[in-house]
Amino acid sequence: MVAQASQLGQKGAWYQKWLVHRKLRPESFAGRIENHHSGKKSYDIHEDLLKCDAVSRLMSANRNCLLPIAYAEGCPTHPSYPAAHAGTAGACATILKAFFNEDFVIPNPVQTNLDGSALEPWQGESLTLGNEINKLASNISLGRDAGGVHYRTDGSQGMLIGEDLAISMLRDYSRTYNEQFDGFMLTKFDGKKVKVVKGEVVSV
């Protein structure tokens, strides 16, 4: 079911990318800022953006407004919003939370020491399975922001698209059980608990 949700998350993201939003990638937008700033083209870009600290720092460091990114080949050639990684992560995380006890406390967690050379006992609040699944989905969704190929909203909203699609899949499956089935329970990314049973999604 996780693999099926993954595919739904991808399809949902690609539908939104091509048939709804077609949002410009950060690299391409920075190129427009550079062309506008240099006078080669004129775009309707708000003055606050043209005068912001990020543009000033780029000009000081590189003598242009182009966005340095982590990938030598540049951004992917498909639209930015929503991030397909995020759609997949949101969908898969939702399925996992529906099947496993989100409140399970992970026993004996560890963390790295200050220089990363060894592991030591975790020194924070208890780590629950549900929160760790959410953390994993968030890291997958937002990790490419640091590479310069996505905006934050591409990831955060992409996760919600994946979540919605996975819940709709669970809703469909909940109608197919011959045996007594109490339904799927899960906590959404916004913290609200829902139960999916007999084709319905109800708040708990």
> Using CA atoms, how far apart are residues 27 and 24, in angstroms rounded to an integer?
8
Helix 26-38, helix 53-62: angle, nearest 10:
80
Residue 182 lies in a domain: yes
pLDDT at 14 (0 to 100): 97
Active site residue 37: no
Give pTM, 2 decimals.
0.90
pLDDT at 144 (0 to 100): 85
H or E segment and range at residue 194: strand 193-197
Active site residue 150: no
| Among 36, 37, 46, 78, the one annotated catalytic | 78
95 three-state secondary structure: helix
Residue 158 lies in a domain: yes
What is the residue range of 178's domain? 2-25+75-98+125-203
> Using CA atoms, how far apart are residues 73 and 26, in angstroms rounded to an integer?
14
178 three-state secondary structure: coil
Residue 66 lies in a domain: no
Phi, psi of 174 (to 5 degrees): -65, -15
Residue 31 lies in a domain: no
Residue 39 lies in a domain: no
pLDDT at 146 (0 to 100): 86
- pLDDT per residue rounded down to tens, the chain (204 residues): 999 999 999 999 999 999 999 999 999 999 999 999 999 999 999 999 999 999 999 999 999 999 888 888 989 999 999 999 999 999 999 999 999 999 999 999 999 999 999 999 999 999 999 999 999 999 999 988 888 899 999 999 999 999 999 999 999 999 998 899 999 999 999 999 999 999 999 999
Bridge partners (DSSP) listed for residue 111 = 120
pLDDT at 44 (0 to 100): 93
Residues 6+ apart with CB under 8 A from 188: 94, 163, 167, 194
Residue 197 lies in a domain: yes
Number of domains in the chain: 1
Pairing of strands 119-121, 184-187: unpaired
Residue 114 lies in a domain: no
